[in-house]
Structure 1
Amino acid sequence: MWNYEKRLEYPVNITTPNPKIAQIIMSQYGGPDGEMGASMRYLSQRFTAPNRIVAGVLNDIGTEELAHLEMVSTIVHQLTCNLSLEEIQNSGFANYYVDHTTGIWPQAAGGVPFNSCEFQSKGDPLTDLFEDLAAEQKARSTYDNILRLVKDPEVADPIRFLRAREVVHFQRFGEALRSVQDELNSKNFYAFNPSFDAKTFCAAPQPGAGQGNCCTR
């Protein structure tokens, strides 16, 4: 369950519309390394987390990614607010405008729609956490690329905040990975799936209940 606060995690106050830049930043809404995929990845992976530390990290970061999704969509909205038809045509925004007017829709900067195949939930904590580490670095790289292209300080400021959070998330996933590895014999890190082959985190089986309740940690 979530409690929604009617404010952004970090303020976004853009006074100069720029649909050309909006098309670039849109990639962090629904692109291959964007916030939509990140939130779905982590909130899906948490169910097979092998311990409370990993489950907590995935839940916390997955929730924060939803807040980042809200920030990115707000940036795109403010950059495309009150556009004239001339601005739409001259900025290359016409193709998007035809399909969505100025509504927010998940796609990459190149126009490719969001696809859930862009993230994975494998059910193996080592596999998933290494993907999570890579995902945070790819998102950080994307924000770096955006900052090289964005000159408006009102846009760059919240983008810098989002980039900084990717670095923090990377560090937290590293700590989560260590918590998993510390519970394993170093010789068998990759010999089995600690969430599937070793049921140490499951509740004791009840009569007639098979393997027990893995939702109880």
Structure 2
Amino acid sequence: MFYHDDQLQFEVEVENPDPHFAKMLQQAIGGAEGEIRVALQYMFQAFAVPAEKQEIRQFLMETATEELGHIEMLATAVAKNLEGASEDARESAREDPIIDEMMRTGQPRQALSAGLHAMPVDSNGVPFTGNYVVASGNLAADLYANVMAESTGRVLATRLYEFTDDPGMKEMLEYLIARDTMHQNQWHAALEDLGEHRPVPASFDQEQENQEYNYSFMSTTREERDDPKQPWTQGEAPDGKGEFSYTPRQPGGGAPDLKAVIDEMYNEVQ
């Protein structure tokens, strides 16, 4: 079950409303780096955790719920950056200077479709897609995806921070950046706590892999080049199970030899 407390997780104030910044904030709501993505990602990951790992399920679900609070904060920030127009002004659109500015520099759909409020879209108005969500059922794989999600989310938040001079927006973003710092570190800590988990999935018998290429960096340049002697071409692999090597050429498997097409697919030109 979910419970909602009718107060924001962190105070959101806007001293100088900026419709253009409201449009930019939409990326932090419905974009690939946004809060809808991580809220759903952590939630669906939690759904897949078995009962015997209740602490991990709780860990994921609490973070997912926190991210729902971030969506509410950002949606409030969007509305505050767009607010100030009366109902009459909204109907007369460009006669109101706030609406005029919104239509020129912001996201028109925030006015036309949402009455000057946030939407589940990115900064270009593209609706959020569940394709952004990574929930593979393999905990290690998902935790690595979570590190990436928080990393790109923190990059976005720091960029937004540089695009505003509003003290309230900076304070809100300072909070969100801090939480991204914590979340990155908690996922790393959880990965370390898992113990041996690489390569993912660790349960697959590596004896079944092609032993010639499982730790070899493969060059794909047309002209053969020497081993660049980098950390990924020599020395022990991070999983401790193999030694890196360098393959100057792809093995080559001959020309594609496709079987006859299935008649019902109508692929032949006749």
Q: Which TM-score band (shorter chain)?
A: 0.7 to 0.9
TM superposition shift of 1:28: 0.8
- Is the Cα–Cα contact under 8 Å of residues 57 and 172 in structure 1 kept in the other structure? no
Change (3 A) 1:188 1:69: closer
TM superposition shift of 1:95: 5.0
Partner of 2:202: 191
Q: Which runs of 5+ in 2 are unaligned?
A: 86-95, 205-270
TM superposition shift of 1:189: 5.3
Q: Which has the higher contact order (CA 8 A, sep 6+)?
A: 1
Partner of 1:48: 48
- RMSD of Structure 2 on Structure 1 (CA): 2.0
Taking only the aligned residue pairs, the percentage that are identical comes to: 24
Partner of 2:168: 154
Partner of 1:174: 188
Q: Please identify the structure whose Cα radius of gyration is greater.
A: 2
Partner of 2:34: 34
SS at match of 2:152: helix
The alignment status of 1:114 with 2:125, answered yes or no, reads no
Q: What is the TM-score normalised by the length of structure 1?
A: 0.80
Per-residue CA distance 1:64-96 (angstroms, 9 max, x = gap): 001111101010011111243322233244354
Q: Distance in 2 between matches of 1:145 and 1:87?
A: 23
- Is the Cα–Cα contact under 8 Å of residues 11 and 172 in structure 2 kept in the other structure? yes
Alignment of 1:61-140 (within 5 A): 61-83=63-85, 84=96, 85-140=99-154
Output the amino acid matched with 1:176. Answer: A
Q: Distance in 2 between matches of 1:179 and 1:54?
A: 11
Q: Which runs of 5+ in 1 are unaligned?
A: 194-217
- Is the Cα–Cα contact under 8 Å of residues 53 and 176 in structure 1 kept in the other structure? no
Change (3 A) 1:187 1:28: closer
Q: Distance in 1 between matches of 2:117 and 2:58?
A: 34
Output the amino acid matched with 2:59. Answer: V
Partner of 1:7: 7
SS at match of 1:26: helix
Q: Distance in 2 between matches of 1:2 and 1:125?
A: 23
Change (3 A) 1:190 1:150: same
> Size of the alignment, in residue pairs?
190
Q: Distance in 2 between matches of 1:143 and 1:178?
A: 26
TM superposition shift of 1:148: 1.2
Output the amino acid matched with 2:41. Answer: R
